[in-house]
């Protein structure tokens, strides 16, 4: 079996100096049928390793569960990396950030009373222990000293920007070792002296996260860690996007020059990202540093491989740089082909949520409750209450809205409350009737002190200055909706959220780009596969459909439109449209 160790100045592969040239590729953001093509292209760019996070919340949607099917088949992903002749780096967190929902923490963990994440709090550590056991049951047999591809495991993630409890880091390290970790363990932090000291302990290799000024940052890393290989384990070559902002891009030439400086210094590297992929379903995270900013569905990241896995100018620029330091496989430059563009697929109106899913099952409460109070981790929740104040109009207000709420009275929409605009009050035109509110969780915060906050309507709920006590709630069954839509009968356009259906016929399974420019805000499914959210706020104006979600012949499309659309059909684009690139 091979060995991989930390030497005085280098990584040692079977005792010989070895430079790691890796790229980040998150298996959970890519359709599994397309893992191999992205991995192979990474090798063609000159990489010798692939790195991935592990999302605790996706694998464990409920306590005691650890799902490993479909896009969560980590073992298959690591074997495919090995089949391409490459090594693997695994970063199981338990906190991963990654612009992913809750930074990877499961919603059920965060709502358990007394749990304090990223600490030695006993309930948290007990849950982490079980999680790491489940991860290592997969990863341990695939370490390099057992014939597998895994050469490095990371402990926590940029912990020095959060805390300085070295005993917590030691507890995670001990648990990984107890679960069979034999390869070197690492940490990552921005190369600031205080962060490096706070985020590392003896026995772990400290690595850096940065995208520029490599010589300076490596000097800071060496000052903190006099021996061992230098590594930038997150070389930021792009950035992520928020709804309502712009699409971030970086110059391919400038990014390549920064990579050249890093490699010229003799350091190892993990390019973040090689291929970003897509926040399929409702998996996107969010930031809130005073303004709530949910992350868009695309995680293109302006990476060397675009959201559809096609080489970009950055790919070729990086390949040229890597070729100055490593042997490159032969690979002809080819231009990215346009997408297949089917004819527009006319839409049928299926009515509202009750028309498609059947009458909601309402539960009664004597106070305002959140999604988390009901055990709901993601999605949409309906609220309903009866008011009778005897006034012509009144103000309805809440402590906070998380994250977007559509308000109606007796079935008539009256307005929207949006967290990103700090809205929490609305004028109700009449003070008698049934108030119904549809609330969308737009993504849980993945960074900072607001990780773990509840979703839904946050009290107090006041109407004309008086608190509303009695409420009813009904979760929207988004998993059942696409199947139910195929059985529903067309009907009139409802007032409020609407469900649409369309069909597109394909000669063969193929990647597609759905044009979302005519749609308002909502979700779209293809053959039951949840592509993710669209929103007129932009910047992105397309949704990527992986070929693995399509089939030869008839393909069923279902759209849940939460606001309004001018579309008469589902239309397709010859390329992805990720939006404007300037403020």
The token pair at 4 is 């991989």
b (16+ CB within 10 A) / e for 233-242: bbbbbbebbb
Q: What is d(CA 32, CA 80) in angstroms, rounded to the nearest whole number?
A: 10
Q: Is 394 helix (H, G, I), strand (E, B) or coil?
A: strand
Strand-pair partners of 512: 545
Give which of 396, 448, 402, 438 is closest to 421, Cα–Cα. 402
Q: What is d(CA 423, CA 417) in angstroms, rounded to the nearest whole number?
A: 5
The token pair at 579 is 């939006």
Strand-pair partners of 197: none
Q: What is d(CA 415, CA 241) in angstroms, rounded to the nearest whole number?
A: 27
Spacing of C-alpha 179 from chain mean position? 27
Give which of 207, 107, 171, 120 is closest to 444, Cα–Cα. 107
**Sole residue written with tokens 């359709």:** 31
The token pair at 164 is 């300085």
Pair 328, 439: CB distance under 8 Å: no
Q: How many residues does the chain have?
A: 583
Pair 417, 359: CB distance under 8 Å: no
Pair 451, 117: CB distance under 8 Å: yes
Pair 441, 371: CB distance under 8 Å: yes
Q: What is d(CA 50, CA 52) in angstroms, rounded to the nearest whole number?
A: 7
Q: What are phi and psi of 298, to 5 degrees?
A: -70, 135
Give which of 354, 341, 356 is closest to 570, Cα–Cα. 341
Pair 268, 205: CB distance under 8 Å: no
Pair 305, 38: CB distance under 8 Å: yes
Radius of gyration of the chain (CA): 25
Q: What is d(CA 470, CA 369) in angstroms, rounded to the nearest whole number?
A: 10
Q: Which residues are catalytic?
A: 158, 234
The token pair at 377 is 């981790």
Pair 138, 76: CB distance under 8 Å: no
- Judged by phi (left if over 0) then psi (alpha if -120 to 50, else beta), residue 168 lies in alpha
Pair 297, 232: CB distance under 8 Å: no
**Sole residue written with tokens 């067309």:** 490
């Amino acid at each position: 079996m091979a060995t991989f160790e930390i030497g005085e100045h280098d990584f040692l592969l079977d005792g010989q100096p070895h430079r790691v040239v890796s790229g980040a590729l998150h298996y959970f953001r890519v359709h599994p049928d397309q893992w191999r093509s992205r991995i192979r292209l990474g090798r063609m760019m000159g990489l010798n390793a692939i790195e991935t996070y592990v999302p605790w919340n996706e694998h464990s949607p409920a306590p005691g569960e650890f799902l490993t099917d479909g896009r969560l088949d980590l073992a298959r992903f690591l074997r495919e990396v090995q089949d391409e002749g490459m090594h693997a780096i695994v970063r199981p967190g338990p906190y991963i950030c990654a612009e992913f929902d809750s930074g990877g923490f499961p919603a059920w963990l965060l709502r358990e009373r007394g749990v304090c994440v990223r600490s030695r709090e006993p309930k948290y550590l007990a849950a982490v222990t079980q999680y790491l056991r489940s991860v290592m049951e997969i990863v341990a047999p695939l370490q390099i000293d057992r014939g597998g591809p895994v050469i490095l495991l990371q402990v926590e993630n940029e912990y020095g920007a959060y805390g300085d409890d070295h005993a917590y880091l030691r507890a995670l390290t001990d648990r990984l070792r107890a679960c069979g970790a034999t390869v070197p363990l690492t940490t990552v932090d921005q190369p600031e002296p205080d962060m490096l000291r706070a985020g590392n302990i003896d026995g772990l290799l400290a690595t850096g996260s940065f995208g520029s000024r490599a010589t300076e940052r490596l000097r800071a890393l060496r000052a903190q860690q006099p021996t061992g290989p230098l590594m930038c384990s997150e070389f930021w070559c792009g950035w992520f996007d928020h709804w309502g902002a712009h699409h971030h891009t970086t110059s391919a030439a400038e990014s390549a020059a920064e990579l050249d400086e890093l490699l010229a210094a003799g350091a190892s590297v993990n390019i973040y990202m090689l291929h970003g992929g897509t926040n399929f379903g409702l998996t996107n995270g969010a930031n809130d540093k005073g303004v709530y900013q949910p992350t868009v569905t695309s995680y293109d990241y302006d990476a060397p491989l675009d959201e559809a896995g096609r080489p970009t100018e950055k790919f070729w620029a990086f390949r040229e740089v890597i070729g100055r330091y490593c042997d490159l496989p032969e690979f002809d430059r080819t231009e990215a082909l346009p997408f297949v563009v089917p004819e527009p697929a006319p839409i049928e109106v299926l009515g509202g949520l009750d028309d498609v899913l059947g009458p909601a099952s309402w539960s009664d409460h004597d106070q305002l409750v959140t999604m988390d109070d009901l055990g709901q981790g993601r999605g949409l929740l309906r609220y309903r209450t009866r008011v009778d104040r005897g006034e012509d109009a009144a103000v309805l207000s809440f402590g906070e809205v998380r994250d977007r709420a559509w308000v109606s009275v007796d079935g008539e929409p009256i307005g929207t409350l949006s967290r990103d605009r700090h809205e929490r009050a609305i004028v109700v035109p009449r003070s008698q009737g049934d108030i119904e509110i549809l609330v969308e969780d737009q993504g849980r915060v993945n960074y900072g002190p607001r990780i773990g906050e509840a979703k839904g309507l946050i009290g107090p709920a006041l109407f004309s200055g008086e608190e509303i006590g009695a409420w009813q709630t009904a979760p929207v069954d988004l998993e059942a909706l696409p199947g139910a839509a195929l059985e529903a009968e067309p009907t009139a356009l409802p007032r409020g959220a609407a469900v649409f259906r369309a069909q597109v016929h394909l000669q063969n399974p193929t990647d597609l780009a759905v044009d979302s420019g005519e749609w308002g805000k909502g979700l779209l499914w293809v053959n039951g596969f949840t592509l993710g959210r669209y929103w007129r706020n932009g910047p992105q104006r397309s949704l990527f459909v992986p070929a693995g979600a399509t089939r030869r012949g008839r393909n069923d499309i279902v759209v849940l439109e939460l606001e309004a659309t001018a579309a008469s059909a589902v239309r397709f684009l010859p390329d992805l449209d990720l939006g404007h690139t300037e403020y």
